[in-house]
Structure 1
């Protein structure tokens, strides 16, 4: 469905735009330089614990039934308050369609995907075949997939951190078992399975801002991919939690902007935010570092009102 004004708060000054421009979308790569791939000679091989192997050209992908979905992606290395997350419109082929075509063995539970630079990622098979509609994307925000974001094809899997799902410059998918292989980041101390944690961030005001007394918008974004955000709350100076206003939900796989109208009084203030997802889980205050499966904690900013 199309994006409507009731789904965004883009008019609030300082809030992160609902759709992240391709040029602003975060990047975390292992490739030392962006691979330059000719779509005409590129191919994707799907093999492993399957009834038969499949090799696809870029033209083959383009000719298949395509879906277009808005999906928020996030990196496991994102700290509390960090900006390693972005929301885009992706166009691609459902991975479940491809796996149906090759016939997956009953004892398989993972797919090891490989980038042209040799990067390997392990993804739970269930996440590629359930109703979240994981895809091999070939376009981003209405444009061909940019080189730096994985041209000619990359994986987009709602609800999982990128290190277990978002293979760029994709050339190989092996249907396998988690016990039979090691992926790049799991060999470096990260968990093999990593659902994105419920998260919220204050975009405005920024920390250490000096504001005049009066009305101000406290605003930001919150996400809980494959679950969805239910509420966002703001707390001032350790007081009671207050409900922020949310626009209409676009999808459980996209972030939601939020805003709280604050009548600021003179003095120093601390502003905190927390989100509750549609499962009923509310973010914990406990600060945990990103390793091994994602950071936790409430984001806060300190400001001075004069």
Structure 2
């Protein structure tokens, strides 16, 4: 097949795949956004890929890891679709089989997601059917190139007469011509073959040639390219339109209509000076928009607060179910709590501090009367994700909340609306269940939550950590006074001391800013008289129990990173 032919065939395959995916999106509006083929397959990938690969994606893409996954999945699909287009030119059944295989993968992925039903297979089925139709349109239908500029290898055709006798299948005598005398002044004359009357014979086709013609009819090419352009545009409109419709069917309007009641126990006021207001230093209170987001949901669940229910069951004396209105009718408390992700590397930014409004989980658990041996509370999200929280951590007096508000407004949809868990002192993977719909009292010996079989610890208390926010790595500074500053945290224990050192020298005590409580991070600063040259700054913190942050370097798995954060700067 010629290069030109391959390009046209690849375009046909990519167009077919684009139509399949694009049209599946508006269908998924009816069945739920998680049933869209890209999202369903992406969800399976998230669940199945090795943890090292997930952490690599988080390290590279940060909170954009989900977008990166969908883009990479789409590019891989495009590559395979191009291959199927090339195969379809040689044999249409091969291309159709490829599309059918991808459709089957989409169906299987959609049906295996938590809470799926038979209708979730519809987007992949409709998409695969239309993709197959588009491929046929380009290979054998009205958009087919005339002709496709290729042909399979053809055996050498024997020279045969084309007269009437040959057409009737009768033997034709071949009489060699008399030799032509050759003189020194004349070149040799090739012998000729005497044929019977009839049209001239076609030239033989040599094996492996590109066929009778490598040129594509201009009108055919125009029809092909016009068809592909129209169909690709249709796919784009379908995909974007489907996403837009899904958003319109979301819960943003319902969220905007909610008016949260005032807390019976408001959060303590942020003391003056808690935020140093230094450039590059993270603000003491993180904005809702800037708050980090790490979870396994490729599409944000849209949960209607009117139909939302929380079921508390398992090893309890009395099973209970609460509605959203039930929670808002209860006495609500408000607290500042800093949350951190276990995937946060030393010096990383997967941490944030916010003002949360909610119902104390301790009160709800008291109402269901947990069994004495129920040492784990499994939070289950609407999308099936689970986390296992020690029951003791929810009943020991800390401000563990079933939160409905964040920084004075209803929870943002991407941060768990309408209800999520907030537990000080524990990494999010064991406590911060978003879009929570179920709490099951059980035992660690009986059930492993989502991340535990994937190599993470069953319990994840937050480690004492500190970070240098300013100056940043490789900053160029001038000789003289330089403010070194950052944040430190040890939620539910608090920070007693932060120390900084330069080039491995003596540790110098930094000044701690005031803070609301032991459940939030604290900002710190230290004045450094910088001298010319390249310098390495290091920081360490000591929590309120007297435990100093370890120098030992450990990766995030299985229960959080350790080590001292350092930056290298140049002073001139």
Would the TM-score normalized by the shorter structure come out above 0.5? yes
213-222 vs 164-173, which deviates more?
213-222
Greater relative contact order, per chain length (Cα 8 Å cut-off, separation 6+) = 1
Aligned residue for 1:301, secondary structure, equals: strand
Whether the 8 Å CA contact 2:270–2:515 is kept in 1: the answer is: no
Whether the 8 Å CA contact 1:284–1:298 is kept in 2: the answer is: yes
Whether the 8 Å CA contact 2:271–2:515 is kept in 1: the answer is: no
TM-score, reference length from structure 1: 0.98
Quote how far apart the aligned CAs of 1:106 are: 1.2
Question: Which residue of structure 2 aligns with residue 60 of structure 1?
Answer: 326
Question: Which residue of structure 2 aligns with residue 275 of structure 1?
Answer: 541
Rounded Cα–Cα distance in structure 1 between residues aligned with 2:502 and 2:359: 45
Question: Which residue of structure 1 aligns with residue 275 of structure 2?
Answer: 8
Quote how far apart the aligned CAs of 1:266 are: 1.1
Q: Identify unmatched segments of 5+ residues in structure 2.
A: 1-267
* Correspondences of 1:147-226 after superposition (within 5 Å): 147-226=413-492
Q: Which has the higher helix share?
A: 2
Residue deviations 1:2-29 (CA, integer Å, cap 9, x gap): 11213332x2222110001111111111
Residue deviations 1:225-260 (CA, integer Å, cap 9, x gap): 111100000001111000111112321110000001
Question: Which residue of structure 2 aligns with residue 108 of structure 1?
Answer: 374
**Does 2:313 correspond to 1:34?**
no
Residue deviations 1:275-295 (CA, integer Å, cap 9, x gap): 000111111111100100110
Residue deviations 1:77-97 (CA, integer Å, cap 9, x gap): 110110011100000000000
Quote how far apart the aligned CAs of 1:265 are: 1.2
Aligned residue for 2:511, secondary structure, equals: coil
Quote how far apart the aligned CAs of 1:262 are: 1.2
Residue deviations 1:13-61 (CA, integer Å, cap 9, x gap): 2211000111111111111111111111111100111111111110101
**Does 2:526 correspond to 1:263?**
no
Matched length:
305
Q: Which has the higher strand share?
A: 1
Rounded Cα–Cα distance in structure 1 between residues aligned with 2:391 and 2:350: 25
Whether the 8 Å CA contact 2:269–2:516 is kept in 1: the answer is: no
Aligned residue for 1:5, secondary structure, equals: coil
Which of residues 145, 164, 174 in structure 1 aligns to 2:411?
Answer: 145
Rounded Cα–Cα distance in structure 2 between residues aligned with 1:137 and 1:166: 10
Rounded Cα–Cα distance in structure 1 between residues aligned with 2:498 and 2:303: 42
Which of residues 120, 127, 140 in structure 1 aligns to 2:393?
Answer: 127
Whether the 8 Å CA contact 1:12–1:217 is kept in 2: the answer is: no
Whether the 8 Å CA contact 1:132–1:226 is kept in 2: the answer is: yes
Rounded Cα–Cα distance in structure 2 between residues aligned with 1:16 and 1:263: 23
**Does 2:382 correspond to 1:90?**
no
Rounded Cα–Cα distance in structure 2 between residues aligned with 1:105 and 1:19: 38
Rounded Cα–Cα distance in structure 2 between residues aligned with 1:30 and 1:243: 40
Quote how far apart the aligned CAs of 1:216 are: 1.4
TM-score, reference length from structure 2: 0.53
102-111 vs 270-279, which deviates more?
102-111
Which of residues 247, 272, 286 in structure 2 aligns to 1:20?
Answer: 286
Quote how far apart the aligned CAs of 1:148 are: 0.5
Which of residues 478, 495, 500 in structure 2 aligns to 1:229?
Answer: 495
Which of residues 232, 242, 245 in structure 1 aligns to 2:508?
Answer: 242
Question: Which residue of structure 1 aligns with residue 557 of structure 2?
Answer: 291
Question: Which residue of structure 2 aligns with residue 48 of structure 1?
Answer: 314
Structure (1 or 2) with the larger CA radius of gyration = 2
**Does 2:325 correspond to 1:78?**
no
Quote how far apart the aligned CAs of 1:63 are: 0.6
Rounded Cα–Cα distance in structure 2 between residues aligned with 1:54 and 1:150: 21
Rounded Cα–Cα distance in structure 1 between residues aligned with 2:519 and 2:571: 36
